[in-house]
Amino acid sequence: MTTATADVHLVRDRATWVWFLPPWLAALALYAQLFPALVSEWAKFPSLSHGFAIPFIAGYLLWARRDLLRVLPFEPNAWGLPVMVLGLLGLVVGVRGDEPFVARISLPVTLFGLALFLGGWRITRQVWAAIAYLLFMIPLPWATVKLVTYRSRLFDADASAYLLGWLGVPVYQDGVMLHLANISLEVADDCSSIPAIAALLSLGVAYAAVARRPLWVRLVLIGATLPFAIGANIVRITSTAAGAYWIGPWTLHTSYHMFNGTVNFLFTFMMLMALDWVLSRWVDRRPA
Amino acid sequence: MKRQAVHSLVALALMALTGALVTVPLGLSEIPLRVDFESLPDGLPGWRPTDRSAGDALPPDPRAPRRVTRAYEREGHLLWATVEYYPSQDEARRAAARGLVIPAHGWSQIAERRVRIPVAAAAGGQLEVNLVTLERQAGRVGIVYWYQIAQQPLASDHWYRVELLYNGLVRGRTDGALIRVASPMETNEDSGAVLARHADFLREFYPLLLRSLPR
């Protein structure tokens, strides 16, 4: 076994890398033009700032599989070609048509195709998660975000008005407006859970990826991130409005309301950890 | 080894081809208006011109090269129409209704829905538009908006982008317009009443607009 591994190393060191690396470097050079604008968006919008961390987390996901990647043989597979062509076509359409989202979303597609075309299925099976994780660094089109954000605001306002009534706070809801006896509040764009969902989802996936849990537990954790993020935001809006009614409008200027992204992040992370704890205990107690 | 070399060379060739395709100039052309917006009449049948301003309910897009705003009045009801025209568009200069219609300056959006307005001049006799209701302390305003690529109206932000992409890549043109029509809502007036007012106006205004926009 040791000898076989050493042989694979020898072959790769001497020749295989010469053929394997140049297309990856070419892809990197091709897509480099997209990064200045992408990085600028990460820096400009706080809800996208998690983008800076995504390439590093994707890198970690690759690094965590380095032992397997060292010994698995490269078995070029022709099925990677149409995938790679699709990705590169996306880049051409996105750049020529001035649609950055199309160009950016083509990056993981091209990388997946390249991995399959040059490395084969066994290599691709080890790297697809890291490649797919790059999707989290790509901001959704602005028009989509605005549209979904508006729907989310309405939903958040509906749910919060219901909960406020249940808490005994008299409220009249008109669209995204919550009219209380002493103040009218708007569930604004920044109050919506949408801007933070990509960040929270990437958090959930990263948490599930590094947790040493059975696959189904990790899938449940990823699936739970979205409802947890939305639920955390509704709890925050409801408690903010209830605080403004019971204690006074000055509570709107407290850090609890002002740092809504951080509050949501903490709520969601705590709920994820709690769910993980419950599921882990259940798995441990289950008879083998 | 031979197979690896072949795959590597194919991948490199594809990357080189892609690099060439993204750098060769497309030659997009600017499409001018057929008839300048100045020709749009100040008054329309049933609608008198007025100098009352829409204020910040219809913020201008400073990136739009051509823009016209007209104010009208009928039976005490005000109505403003603004058209922004882009002879060619790119990421830095593109009609984006969601940044212009959706609230700022203290306005809150309380409702949005897509509606079809019977307008004989529109293809199929109906004009599909978005009706947005905004509110702030001074009152409510109903805004109708849609995009127009040449003679084709588009209510969806996403289809508009898809059409622009297609036009840019296939027809070599990315011209388009954003049309917004706003009218203040009376107390207790519902969105149906303001929509009826918009519909009456658009039956007169839309054929004139089509005359200005390119084919």
Crossing angle of the two packed helices A194-210 and A54-63, in degrees rounded to 10:
20
Farthest-apart Cα atoms in chain A, separation: 79
Check whether residue A88 and residue A222 sit in a common domain: no
Give the mean model confidence (pLDDT) for residues B149-160.
92
Tokens of B174: 């990315």
* Bridge partners, B72 (sequence order): B49, B79
Partner-chain contact A175 B135, CB within 8 Å: yes
Backbone angles phi, psi at B26, to 5 degrees: -85, -30
Stated pTM of the model? 0.79
Backbone angles phi, psi at B87, to 5 degrees: -65, -30
Check whether residue A84 and residue A169 sit in a common domain: no
Give the mean model confidence (pLDDT) for residues B122-147.
87
* CA distance, residue A218 to nearest chain B CA (Å): 34
| Domain end point (choices A106, A138, A170) | A138
* pLDDT attached to residue A269: 82
- DSSP designation for B57: G
| Domain end point (choices A105, A138, A171) | A138
* pLDDT attached to residue A6: 46
Q: What is the pLDDT of residues B171-195, one digit of tens each?
A: 889 999 999 999 998 888 888 889 9
Number of structural domains (chain A) is 2
Check whether residue A94 and residue A190 sit in a common domain: no
* CA distance, residue B196 to nearest chain A CA (Å): 21
Q: What is the pLDDT of residues B56-96, one digit of tens each?
A: 778 888 888 999 999 999 988 999 999 999 999 887 777 77
ipTM entry: 0.77
Check whether residue A120 and residue A167 sit in a common domain: no
Closest Cβ–Cβ partner in B21, B98, B108 for A186: B108
Check whether residue A222 and residue A171 sit in a common domain: yes
Check whether residue A83 and residue A147 sit in a common domain: no
Q: What is the pLDDT of residues A221-276, one digit of tens each?
A: 888 988 988 888 898 889 889 989 998 888 888 776 666 667 777 788 888 889 98
Partner-chain contact A118 B91, CB within 8 Å: no
Q: What is the pLDDT of residues B9-51, one digit of tens each?
A: 999 999 999 999 998 877 778 899 998 988 888 888 989 999 8
* pLDDT attached to residue B103: 59
Q: Which one of B9, B10, B14, B146 makes the best mutation probe of the A interface by having the most chain A beta carbons within 10 Å? A: B14
Partner-chain contact A98 B89, CB within 8 Å: yes
Q: What is the pLDDT along chain A (288 residues), one digit of tens a residue?
A: 444 444 455 456 667 778 889 999 999 999 999 999 999 988 888 778 888 888 998 999 899 888 888 888 889 999 999 999 999 999 999 998 888 999 999 999 999 999 999 999 999 999 998 999 999 899 988 878 877 887 888 899 999 999 999 999 999 988 788 899 988 888 887 777 777 777 788 888 888 877 778 888 888 988 898 898 888 889 888 988 998 999 888 888 877 666 666 777 778 888 888 998 998 888 887 765
Check whether residue A101 and residue A231 sit in a common domain: no
- Helix or strand run (H / E) with residue B142: strand B139-149
Picking from A173, A175, A192, the residue whose alpha carbon sits closest to that of residue A237 is A192
B174 contact residues in A (CB cutoff 8 A): 98
Residue A277: CA count within 13 A, CB half-sphere: 6
Check whether residue A163 and residue A121 sit in a common domain: no
* pLDDT attached to residue A233: 85
Q: What is the pLDDT of residues B203-213, one digit of tens each?
A: 999 999 999 99
Check whether residue A221 and residue A161 sit in a common domain: yes
Decide if A95 touches B, using CB distance below 8 A. yes
Check whether residue A273 and residue A222 sit in a common domain: yes
| Domain end point (choices A138, A161, A181) | A138
* CA distance, residue B188 to nearest chain A CA (Å): 13
Tokens of A205: 């996936």
Check whether residue A133 and residue A149 sit in a common domain: no
Check whether residue A129 and residue A164 sit in a common domain: no
* Residue A196: domain span: 143-285
